[in-house]
Amino acid sequence: MTLLSCATIVALVVVVVSVAINLSFDAKLRKYWPVPEWSVEDIPSLEGQTALVTGANTGLGYATSLELLKHGAKVIVATRSEKKGIDTVKRLQAEPDLPAKYRENAIAPKVALELSSLKSVAEFAEYIKDTEPQLNMLINNAGLNPLNFSLSEDGYELRFAVNHMAHYALTLALVPLLEAGAPARVVVVSSLGHQFAAKDCFDFSTLNDESKYEMMPAYGRSKLANILFARSLARKVKDKQIYVNSAHPGFVATDFGRELVDMAAEYMSRENAESLVKSVFGAFAMSPQDGAATQLFLAMPEVAERNITGEYYVPMARKHDSHFFALAGGASPEALDDELAEKLWQWTAKETGIDL
């Protein structure tokens, strides 16, 4: 009960209700929607284009990688061990709907990307810069929301370090490659969970203080940081023809459920917890293929052609305020606050020692 305070439980209930509304329209009632503005069937040929996807070994990252490969892109799968990268490439190459001519386009880097370590991020980025001449798409997808508090290798609250700081450092290190691949697209995968960030969440004095830790506000802070980072970066690299946007993928049946199992297992047997989470996902959640659509859209050449940058999109590939039912995952007022975005940028630049 200490870990799950009242505020966390209320936040969880609100998340579940909003998610339930959102996913009803994402998954079950989609036939009643107006025709979607965009679907994966609209992906053009991506031959000659290179993408890098973080968290590519499972869930949304895997589905995103597969879809990009199917359309001819070269896809660098960033994972937290070299073995995971090799296994992921093998699984992608064995996918029945991946045309044989594109199988060799799945690339496992020889260096791992462990996002809880800024040193690992720097080494990975150096390797990519040494081996790739250009990058057209960067999908900052990896993320986590563990039940318990812990610190990254560099001493920062883990999910803030992985979800925000590491992706900030990775993206800035890769800007020269993105510039070489311009018009390039960067996608930062956020969440409707950004709405659970506390008002003063960027008062960083309590970031690494376990006694102030609450799970959902901590996740919310990291996901709000994703949106604000995308807004700031979009402004700062506009003249380099790098287009940067953030996305809420929807409620998607991925390995993200492992945290929910851990939470439910505090109140019931692990077996019952697994079956409960499985039923909830089965009843409501989108498939990873459908969930990947919004981040895929933001990686498309069309985004540059239409000058879409600094925006936040929700399922299915819609700008946050373009559809009533998307309100469940819409941007909070803080997510549209450029002053807050700059404050976050300055803090992150100082702590990581990296700036443009």
Ligand X SMILES: NC(=O)c1ccc[n+]([C@@H]2O[C@H](COP(=O)([O-])OP(=O)(O)OC[C@H]3O[C@@H](n4cnc5c(N)ncnc54)[C@H](OP(=O)(O)O)[C@@H]3O)[C@@H](O)[C@H]2O)c1
Catalytic residues: 219
Among candidate residues 3, 79, 27, the one with its CA nearest the CA of residue 282? 27
Of the pair 136, 254, the CB lying nearest ligand X is at: 254
Element (H, E) at 188: strand 184-189
Backbone angles phi, psi at 151, to 5 degrees: -110, 150
From the list 85, 143, 220, 330, which residue makes contact with ligand X (rule: CB under 6 A)? 143
Of the pair 180, 327, the CB lying nearest ligand X is at: 327
User: Contact at 8 Å (CB) between 25 and 304?
Assistant: no
From the list 51, 108, 125, 162, which residue makes contact with ligand X (rule: CB under 6 A)? 162
Of residues 268-297, which lie at the interface with ligand X (CB under 6 A)? none
Q: How many residues bind ligand X (CB under 6 A)?
A: 26
Binding segment toward ligand X, per CB under 6 A, in 141-149, 195-203, 261-269, 315-323: 141-149
Work out how close the CB of 314 gets to ligand X at its nearest, in angstroms, rounded to a whole number. Answer: 10
The whole-angstrom separation of Cα 210 and Cα 243 is 37
Among candidate residues 356, 29, 341, the one with its CA nearest the CA of residue 164? 341
Of the pair 142, 177, the CB lying nearest ligand X is at: 142
User: Contact at 8 Å (CB) between 99 and 70?
Assistant: yes
From the list 4, 12, 144, 265, which residue makes contact with ligand X (rule: CB under 6 A)? 144
Measured at the CA of 258, the angle between CA 256 and CA 263, to 5 degrees, comes to 115
User: Contact at 8 Å (CB) between 105 and 73?
Assistant: yes
From the list 18, 26, 52, 80, which residue makes contact with ligand X (rule: CB under 6 A)? 80
Of residues 224-263, which lie at the interface with ligand X (CB under 6 A)? 248-249, 251-252, 254-256
The footprint of ligand X (CB under 6 A) covers 55, 57-61, 80, 84, 113-116, 141-144, 162, 189, 191, 248-249, 251-252, 254-256
